[in-house]
Each structure stands twice: as C-alpha cells, then as structure tokens.
Amino acid sequence: MSTITAAITAVGGYVPDFVLTNSELEKMVETNDEWITSRTGIKERRVLKGDGLGTSYLCIKAAKDLLQRGNVNPLDIDLVLVATATPDLPVAATAVFVATQIGATNAFGFDIQAACSGFLYGMSAASAYVQSGKYKKVLLIGADKMSSILDYTDRATCIIFGDGAGAALFEPNYEGLGLQDEILKSDGIGREYLKIDAGGSILPSSKETVENRQHFIYQDGKTVFKYAVMGMADVSEQIMKRNNLTKDDVNWLIAHQANKRIIDATSGRMELEEEKVLINIQRYGNTTSATLPLLLSDFEDKFKKGDNLIFAAFGGGFTWGSVYLKWAYNK
C-alpha cells in the first residue's frame, strides 16, 4: 500500500463587512496612518459587529465557503478542528458547535489554542489524523474575533488586530503531495509578554477584574517583536535546510501576518524574492489563528499542483514553527 500523506484539497475564508481604517483609529486613540503603516504594514482591519456573534459565526462562514468552493458534502467530514484564541464560551468547544451548524453531524471536534500558531499546530494535528488511515476528511479552521478582547483605548494593541476566519480540508494523498515536514516549537517564557490577566483559573472574573480592565489583551510589543523575528526566521531557514530546499525550490511563503517587518525578516533569511511572499496584512491586520488560512483562501488561484509552500508563524506563549507542504491541486 502506498504511503499516505495529508494534502489540502479545498480552502475557504471569511472576513466581516465592517472595515476599521487607520484614519478612523486616529479618532479613537493617539496614533496616525503613517505611524501604523510604517511600523506594521496595516492599513485597515475587519471587525465583526452584531449582538451574539462570536468566533463560531466566523468559522461557520469560512467553512461554508470551503464546502461550496470545494463541492464537499459536510456529512463526509470526519473531524472538525478549530484553532482559536477567542472561543465562543469557556468549557464548550467552539469546534463542536461549528460542526453541528455546518451539517458535519458525523464528525467529532475539538479546539486548539496556541495563539497565532494555532492553525500551524492544527496542520500537524490534521495531518496526523489523516496519516493514521482512520480519517479521510479533516476540516481545520483558524478563526478569531480579536475585537472581543481588545481595549480600543490601548494604541499598542487595537491598531494591530482584526477579525476573520479561514479553513482548509485535509485528505489522504498517494502522490507524495501534502504535508512534508514540520518544525514546531514553544517556550513558556513568553507567557508574561502576551496575555490576558483575568478570566482564567489563576484570576477568575470578578467585579474588580472588570473594573481594572484585566480582560483585555496585553502585549509587550518590543519583546514579542524580537522573539518573533528570531523564531520565525530560524525555523523557516531550518526547514529549508533539512529538506534540501533552495530559494529557487520554494514557490510561496505563507507567513503569519502580524507585522510586515517580521515577514520581511523571515523572507530575507530565506533569500526569497518579494513576489513569492504572500501578503494581506494591509487589509486584515493580525487575525491571529486566521492569518495562514486566509492567505490560502485569498491566493488559491496562484497555487499550482506540486508547488512548494513554506508556512511560518509565531504566537503568544510563546509558540512558533514552520511547515513544509506540497500543494495538491490546480484551481
């Protein structure tokens, strides 16, 4: 029997309609378009508006887009994974609700929380389930409603993040296409630099934690930037060397969209031409778990069967890594 690899066979994406531009942020906090653009590469981001709409809403939209574009029957899906840092609810997994809502009633599901590296870690998990031979269709969704944890009076964070979701379907492949290799890393030193203080088991929600604004995301930008530049660039270079890939062998870099300067540092270490580096940060900002699959959704038409894709991400915790994948289909 041929060796099973796990290949992406369909993608989908969704971003909310409401656009929050840099010029509008100028009216909310002390900042300006030139400052934001020069330091992050972000021009605008999307925000999910509407009572009772959470991360599951984004997931469902992205999943339905995938089902339509890939002509996939949801009843054939075996597993639904949702990578997110902003689940709908504590305890109840967002993936379980999403699976039911999209009609994937034969699937089981669970969430993955690795901040901005969630989708990257999810690629490893989805591939392992497929390669086991027990599961034929694994739906991996990366989604975050970052606006739900942002303090829009904190210019260090509110300029960076946006809401969105992306999805990818993993299936068995017998041509050697799909996920080829992975380098996944983590280091608990990062816990103090990118976090939400309250709402967990250490500091449960209370009147005081709300009054002290401890339920919003905090980021030590300079420290996170330093670790992210080093981490993403290191693993991307390592995975190329380990698989004997030159810059000419790599067709596309699928990098986490946190900061244009971090992306540039990573592609520079890989010695890639600018046209091989896919960018949509200017339109969406940092959508956390959704950045990688949104790139796949936005640029699906560019990919050709057999193309070599290098994925790279860095997230809170710290978590980071790189995945080498061969694209499995022509659009």
- Residues labelled catalytic: 116, 256, 286
Q: Rounded CA gap, 178 and 307, in Å?
A: 10
Q: Which of 70, 61, 65, 278 is nearest to 170 (CA)?
A: 70
- State both tokens at 2: 């041929």
d(CA 216, CA 198): 8
CA distances from 188 to 67, 122, 161, 262 (A): 37, 19, 23, 21
Would you say how long the chain is, in residues?
Answer: 331
CB 158 within 8 A of CB 219: no
Rounded to a whole number, what is the largest CA-CA distance in the chain?
62
User: How far is residue 37's CA from residue 43's CA, in Å, rounded to a whole number?
Assistant: 6
Ranges assigned E (strand) in 187-299: 194-195, 218-219, 252-255
